[in-house]
Amino acid sequence: MMEYKCDLCKKSISGGVLPYSEHVEDHIMELIKARHPDWVETDGICKKCYEYYKNELRGK
């Protein structure tokens, strides 16, 4: 299985990153871009980072 590096947390993950897609909430993408201005949607994010930012928006 290939390993990828998440551009947000810089950790290597196996199984790939979650690609950006339109069904992902735009407000999560806006939060990520605010904190990581050099991040590009096509780079994708790991599931852990996605869950982290989703929970940030929910106030958890």
Return the amino acid letter for 2.
M
Q: What are phi and psi of 5, to 5 degrees?
A: -115, 125
Residue with tokens 């994010």: 45
- Give the model confidence (pLDDT) of 2-43 as tens digits: 778 888 999 887 766 665 555 557 888 899 999 999 998 887
More confident: 56 or 60: 56
Neighbours of 24 (CB within 10 A): 16
Which residue range forms the structural domain that includes residue 54? 3-58
Count of structural domains, the chain: 1
